[in-house]
């Protein structure tokens, strides 16, 4: 094979990154050791919803890369969501000051640089930080995501679903953790013995395990993440009065102590967006771009059902106009089923200090198209602020691999002043809506006030005939096998016999009345979320199937 000249390599990059529509400017190509400002490397704005990966070893510039991309997305009118792990991204609200070194770098890649500020909204999970508090109700969060936080096994997860089912049947609103704790305590008490038996697949021992895990969450201070007012994820898709997209920074000062909560909460945000957004098809620019830093936290120790749900999210949310960029150290941190859907790749330098590092390097190289670079050498020698890039062009084909010197952000690469963050939060339009927690009457108050008398007395009619749990078991088996995609541990159904028709279950105030057939069967096992899924299975398969897999439910109210 003939060795290409430098001019030919430059021409390949120029041709591959000549694009017609609006673009995100990433930098200039480095070819044969020289930066070529006449060979710009770009990412089509219309392809940002094809998702992407920003990877590289610690200290190679991943955070600066997503910082720079977020600035340009905002300028193009695209809202951005960032998980601010280290606190550095708050600098987007402060204009950067130029320096001789910075201007030399930007001139070398053809970047017309000037310091700018960007419209930023600061959020904090449950108020754990300086931002606007983000909360979710236990009902909308759902049993599968909650099981993920509590690290329950499959059997315990299925049992928690039955607890949610009991709450829905008896109009017991699950707003915060004390509501869920109150229901489990009732079911494991002498007064709730009969109702526990009617749930069939839920044993007192398993309920006790869930209760202990729930109390542990409360002891760790996680109860403040669940409650009202619930955050409306549509707030992530706002634009500023000047037309720029709002950059939402989720502050995570205690990530190291709550990594599972962080990753699971991000999946709730995505699942909720997916549920609400209409199909959009191919757009000139995405409606929202998510950057998920520390992406490995999503996948470590995750169950097959949870991984399948993430894969489904990534595959289907693209059609809603949302792009997701995973930010992590190596592509190996992301499951193959998800990695295969990430069309845009920004790969910073990798280290090869150990045999495991060398193996990861070879695996990374194998995921790139053929190129004019020796990628093993390039990926171990790339400098800070340099990355190997290939993206999807406007025709849906991969662009040539290009070692790129990346653009510099125009806002501060570091935290903004505390006073600026505080004033931004104080002046936010979201503060009056979400700043103060409220505690409406819900399951805890109803149980504590003996308000269960009518509902609980009717519970046998709302579940299964007393003395038999075959209907509940059959429904639960169906959910586990058909929706969650795993073998069921529940007893096989007994030989069919004639039985009186069950009374239609009482509906929660949060769910409309529903018919029988498959919708009723699915709803009987997991409550309103899957009832809705089954009812509209024929016309909204992708949307409702995602909700069923995650176990999330519609919000009780929008404020």
What are the helix and strand counts (H, E) for the chain?
A: 24, 12
The answer to whether 29 and 12 have CB atoms below 8 angstroms apart is no
Lowest-pLDDT range of 22-31, 136-145, 193-202, 249-258: 249-258
Query: Please, what's the b/e burial string for 222-249 (b: 16 or more CB within 10 A of its CB; e: otherwise)?
Result: bbbbbbbbbbbbebbbeebeeebbbbbb
Tokens of 355: 């045999």
Which residues does residue 31 pair with via DSSP β-bridges, in sequence order? 34
Longest Cα separation, the chain: 86
CA distance 316 to 4: 41
SS3 assignment, position 151: coil
Q: Which helix (H) or strand (E) holds 249?
A: strand 247-251
Which residues are CB-contacts of 66 (< 8 A; sequence separation ≥ 6)?
54, 82, 89, 291, 293, 325, 327
Write down the pLDDT at residue 220: 75
Phi, psi angles (nearest 5°) of residue 225: -80, -15
Query: What's the start-to-end Cα distance of the chain, in Å?
Result: 65
Q: pLDDT tens digits for 489-516? A: 555 655 444 433 333 333 333 333 333 3
Q: pLDDT band for 30, please (50, 70, 90 cuts).
A: very high
Q: pLDDT band for 468, please (50, 70, 90 cuts).
A: very low
- How far is CA 151 from each of CA 210, 252, 260, 429, rounded to the nearest angstrom? 10, 21, 9, 36
Tokens of 526: 């997991």
Tokens of 144: 């599968």
DSSP assignment of 455-509: HHHTHHHHSS-TT--HHHHHHHHHIIIIIS-S---SPPPPPP---PPPPPPPPPT
Phi, psi angles (nearest 5°) of residue 270: -65, -45
Distance of CA 51 to the CA centre of its chain: 13
DSSP assignment of 114-128: ------EEEEEETT-
Residue 335 has pLDDT above 70, yes or no: yes
pTM equals: 0.80
CA distance 230 to 136: 5
Pairing of strands 80-84, 247-251: parallel
- How far is CA 157 from each of CA 153, 172, 209, 484, rounded to the nearest angstrom? 6, 20, 11, 11
Residue 219 DSSP label: H
Residue 459 has pLDDT above 50, yes or no: no
Which residues are CB-contacts of 487 (< 8 A; sequence separation ≥ 6)?
480, 481
CA distance 161 to 519: 17
CA distance 36 to 141: 49
Q: pLDDT tens digits for 132-186? A: 999 999 998 888 888 888 888 888 888 898 898 888 888 899 999 999 999 998 9
Pairing of strands 386-390, 344-347: antiparallel
Would you call the peptide bond into 229 cis, given omega within 30 degrees of 0 as the criterion?
A: yes
Total length of the chain: 559
Burial class of residue 311, CB neighbours in 10 A (0-12, 13-18, 19+)? middle
* Residue 218 CB-half CA count within 13 A: 14
Residue 265 has pLDDT above 90, yes or no: no
The answer to whether 39 and 413 have CB atoms below 8 angstroms apart is no
CA distance 419 to 524: 52
Q: 412 or 543: which carries more pLDDT confidence? A: 412
- In the block, tokens 């409360």 appear at 218
Residue 478 has pLDDT above 70, yes or no: no
The answer to whether 401 and 86 have CB atoms below 8 angstroms apart is no
The answer to whether 327 and 54 have CB atoms below 8 angstroms apart is yes
State the average pLDDT over residues 256-268: 76
Among 275, 295, 293, 289, which residue's Cα sits nearest to residue 323? 289
The answer to whether 224 and 488 have CB atoms below 8 angstroms apart is no
Lowest-pLDDT range of 101-115, 189-203, 382-396, 509-523: 509-523
Tokens of 432: 């009056």
The answer to whether 557 and 440 have CB atoms below 8 angstroms apart is no
DSSP assignment of 387-419: EEEE-B-TTS-BPPPEEEEEPPPSB-SSPPPHH
Residue 251 DSSP label: E
Lowest-pLDDT range of 9-13, 41-45, 320-324, 533-537: 533-537
- In the block, tokens 């679903």 appear at 161
Phi, psi angles (nearest 5°) of residue 167: -60, -45
Write down the pLDDT at residue 469: 42
Q: pLDDT tens digits for 220-239? A: 777 888 999 999 999 999 99
State the average pLDDT over residues 114-139: 91
């Amino acid at each position: 094979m003939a060795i290409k000249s430098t001019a030919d390599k430059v021409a390949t990059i120029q041709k591959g990154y000549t694009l017609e529509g609006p673009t995100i400017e990433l930098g200039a190509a480095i070819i044969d050791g020289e930066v070529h400002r006449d060979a710009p490397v770009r990412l089509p704005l219309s392809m940002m919803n094809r998702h992407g990966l920003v990877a590289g070893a610690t200290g190679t510039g991943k955070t600066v890369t997503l910082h720079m991309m977020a600035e340009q997305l905002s300028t193009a009118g695209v809202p951005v969501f960032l998980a601010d792990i280290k606190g550095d991204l708050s600098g987007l609200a402060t204009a950067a000051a130029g320096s001789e070194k910075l201007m030399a770098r930007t001139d070398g890649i053809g970047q017309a640089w000037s310091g700018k500020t960007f419209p930023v909204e600061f959020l904090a999970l449950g108020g754990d930080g300086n931002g606007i508090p983000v909360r979710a109700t236990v009902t909308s969060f759902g049993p599968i995501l909650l099981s993920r936080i509590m690290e329950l096994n499959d059997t315990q997860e299925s049992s928690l679903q039955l607890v949610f089912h009991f709450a829905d049947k008896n109009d017991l609103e699950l707003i915060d953790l004390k509501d869920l704790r109150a229901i489990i305590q009732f079911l494991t008490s002498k007064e709730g013995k009969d109702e526990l038996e009617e749930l069939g697949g839920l044993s007192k021992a398993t309920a006790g395990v869930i209760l202990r895990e729930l109390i542990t969450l409360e002891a760790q201070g996680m109860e403040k993440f669940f409650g009202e007012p619930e955050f409306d994820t549509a707030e992530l898709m706002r634009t500023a009065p000047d037309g720029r997209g709002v950059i939402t920074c989720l502050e995570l000062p205690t990530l190291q102590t709550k990594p599972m909560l962080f990753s699971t909460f991000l999946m709730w945000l995505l699942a909720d967006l997916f549920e609400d957004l209409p199909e959009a098809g191919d757009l000139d620019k995405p409606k929202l771009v998510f950057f998920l830093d520390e992406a490995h936290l999503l996948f470590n120790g995750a169950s097959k059902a949870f991984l399948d749900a993430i894969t489904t999210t990534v595959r289907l949310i693209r059609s809603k106009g949302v792009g997701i960029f995973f930010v992590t150290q190596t592509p190996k941190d992301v499951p193959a089923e998800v990695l295969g859907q990430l069309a845009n790749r920004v790969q910073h330098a990798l280290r090869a200090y150990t045999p495991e590092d060398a193996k990861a390097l070879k695996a990374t190289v194998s995921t790139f198209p053929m190129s004019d670079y020796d990628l093993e050498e390039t990926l171990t020698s790339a400098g800070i602020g340099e990355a190997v890039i290939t993206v999807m062009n406007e025709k849906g084909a991969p662009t040539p691999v290009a070692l790129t010197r990346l653009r510099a952000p125009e806002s501060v690469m570091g935290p903004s002043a505390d006073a600026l963050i505080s004033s931004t939060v104080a002046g936010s339009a979201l503060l009056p809506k979400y700043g103060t927690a409220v505690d409406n009457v819900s399951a805890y108050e109803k149980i504590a006030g003996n308000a269960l008398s009518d509902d609980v007395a009717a519970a046998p009619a709302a579940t299964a005939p007393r003395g038999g749990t075959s209907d509940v078991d059959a429904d639960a088996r169906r959910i586990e096998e058909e929706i969650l995609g795993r073998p069921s541990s529940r007893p096989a159904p007994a030989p069919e016999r004639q039985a009186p028709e069950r009374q239609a279950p009482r509906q929660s105030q949060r769910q409309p009345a529903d018919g029988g057939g498959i919708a009723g069967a699915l709803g009987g096992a997991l409550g309103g979320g899957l009832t809705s899924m089954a009812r509209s299975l024929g016309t909204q398969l992708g949307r409702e199937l995602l909700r069923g897999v995650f176990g999330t439910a519609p919000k009780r109210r929008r404020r």
